[in-house]
């Protein structure tokens, strides 16, 4: 029977491609901090004294000065918004309010991450807090119809 012998370099190339694909895939998900039901609105509100950076990280698309100033003036923060890239993330008007579903909020209903990660918490009725930010990327636990749902948003 004919057996084809593969070049050892072929295996190295395949391994490098798989490693690169894994790194790209896992770097796209960042875990965003979530709120706890014991948080107050003051703790979840955007900072009042936002410092305007004079420099952005290397390779980070710099916003136009007017766009950036408008973002900060509206209480927003300039950050990477998932795969869509950098943009202005604006605060919500109901951040920190109790909720049982994202329909109760301007953005999403976030669960307490400390309680949500235990197995015995799934299936129980839950109350979360409305997110203080309109855009919520990364892996989080949301409260939907009173139940915990693990969601990753890119």
- At 41 the pLDDT is 42
Give the number of C-alpha atoms closer than 13 A to the C-alpha of residue 22, restricted to the C-beta side: 6
| Both tokens assigned to 20 | 């690169």
Q: Which residues of the chain have pLDDT under 70?
A: 1-8, 10-12, 14-58, 115-123
The pLDDT assigned to 4 comes to: 59
Please report which helix (H) or strand (E) contains residue 53, including its range: none
pTM: 0.58
pLDDT score for 154: 78
What is the pLDDT at residue 126?
Answer: 85
Q: What is the pLDDT of residue 88?
A: 92
Who's near 63: CB < 8 A, 6+ residues apart? Answer: 71, 78, 86, 88
- Report pLDDT for 30: 45
């Amino acid at each position: 029977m004919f057996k084809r012998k593969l070049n050892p370099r072929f295996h190295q190339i395949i391994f490098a491609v798989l490693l690169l694909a894994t790194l790209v895939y896992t770097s796209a998900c960042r875990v965003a901090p979530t709120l706890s039901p014991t948080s107050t609105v003051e703790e979840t509100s955007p900072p009042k004294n936002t410092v305007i950076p004079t420099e952005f990280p290397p390779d980070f698309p710099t916003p136009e000065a007017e766009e950036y100033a408008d973002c900060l003036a509206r209480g927003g923060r300039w950050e990477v918004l998932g795969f869509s890239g950098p943009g202005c993330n604006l605060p919500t008007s109901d951040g920190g309010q109790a909720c049982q579903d994202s329909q109760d909020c301007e953005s999403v209903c976030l669960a307490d991450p400390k309680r949500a990660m235990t197995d015995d918490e799934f299936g129980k009725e839950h109350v979360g807090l409305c997110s203080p930010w309109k855009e919520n990327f990364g892996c989080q636990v949301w409260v939907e119809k009173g139940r915990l749902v693990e969601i990753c948003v890119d």
